[in-house]
Amino acid sequence: MPALGTGELAALSTAALWAVSCQIHAILSRRLGPHTLILLRLPICIVMFGAWWGASVLFFGGGVMVPGSPGSVGTGGPSLLALGALALSGVVGVALCDLLFYSGVVLVGARVALLVQSLSTVITAVLGYLLLGEAIGPMGIAGILIATAGVAWVVGDSGTVPEGAVPLSRAVRLRGVGLAFASALALSSGMVLSKQGLSEGVDPLFAALLRMVVAMGVFWPTAMLTGRLRPALGVVRGDRHNFRLLLAASLIGPVVGVWLSLVAIGATQTGIAATLIGLEPIFIIPVAAMVERRWPTPRAIAGAGIAFAGTALLCLRNVL
């Protein structure tokens, strides 16, 4: 069996860290509410990403554009269309996606919500085929069908409950799953929009920072108008424990995890990196079980494995 290289280890580490970060955010979404969680997380991530991007500019020759890309020479940077697409992807793929996802987490738990959101890989492939002319192929179609079947099998498991909750009614479970699926749609739409800017050579770190800044620029004024901002800011002063937990989760997932994912993509084939990072719904099974002190049913574990197998086929269709 070939040894794991730097890219593969980075991808596996990304999946593990994102699973831990997701579980911590799930706990905070129940304690603070999804709106408060997103309102506080956005500026934290902006500061962390801003420092990271600033360091890359000062010490590693980074910038708005990837050095040597077409947009970095002569044109003065990305087009307004590319910047607009990245900005819109921030609203849809960051703020709206996270709000929908953690609203679903409150109802069905992190493990189920994350598995449903993993369908974003399927949705992105379909959108890429319809809007960008990207090929799927027989292997990709098989992966889509298998992944969807695995997720559907888990969703139909009535033994699935969120942490510390009584068994869910069918209506509540369907609502939570619907919110998670809507977050997958938002995530996929944001990824398709991001491709416009990245295809012109925009630096991925700058793109991530821009998306978060725009998301905060939309989300915070909306929260101010609806009266949600002041209570959220009160958490910073009055709930130090949860705020420190949020700082740790933001560092683990959105910062270190994203950095490792970039290392993985740069050090191995994209399909392999995406497949290994797609193990996040598998990694979260033991993480959630330790927190909830209740293992999921065998059906839920098997369904997660089937969903991952389908996702792997889809991600590796251009590699194998």
Mean of pLDDT over the chain: 85
Per-residue pLDDT at 116: 93
Residue 2 has pLDDT above 80, yes or no: no
Tens digit of each residue's pLDDT (9 = 90 or more) over 111-137: 889 999 999 989 988 888 888 788 888
Per-residue pLDDT at 20: 93
Residue 1 has pLDDT above 50, yes or no: no
Residues of the chain with pLDDT > 90, as a percent, come to: 34
The residue-averaged pLDDT of 45-63 equals: 84
Query: For 13-22, 177-186, 235-244, 260-269, which range has the lowest pLDDT when averaged over its residues?
Result: 260-269
pLDDT higher at 62 or 232: 232
Per-residue pLDDT at 164: 47
Model confidence band, residue 247 (pLDDT cutoffs 50, 70, 90)? very high
The residue-averaged pLDDT of 219-225 equals: 92
Per-residue pLDDT at 168: 65
| Chain centroid offset of residue 94 CA | 8
Q: Which of 13-27, 129-143, 271-285 has the highest mean pLDDT?
A: 13-27
Per-residue pLDDT at 72: 52
Tens digit of each residue's pLDDT (9 = 90 or more) over 278-300: 899 999 989 888 887 777 888 88
Domain ranges of the chain: 15-66+77-315
Model confidence band, residue 147 (pLDDT cutoffs 50, 70, 90)? very high
Model confidence band, residue 248 (pLDDT cutoffs 50, 70, 90)? very high
Residue 157 has pLDDT above 70, yes or no: no
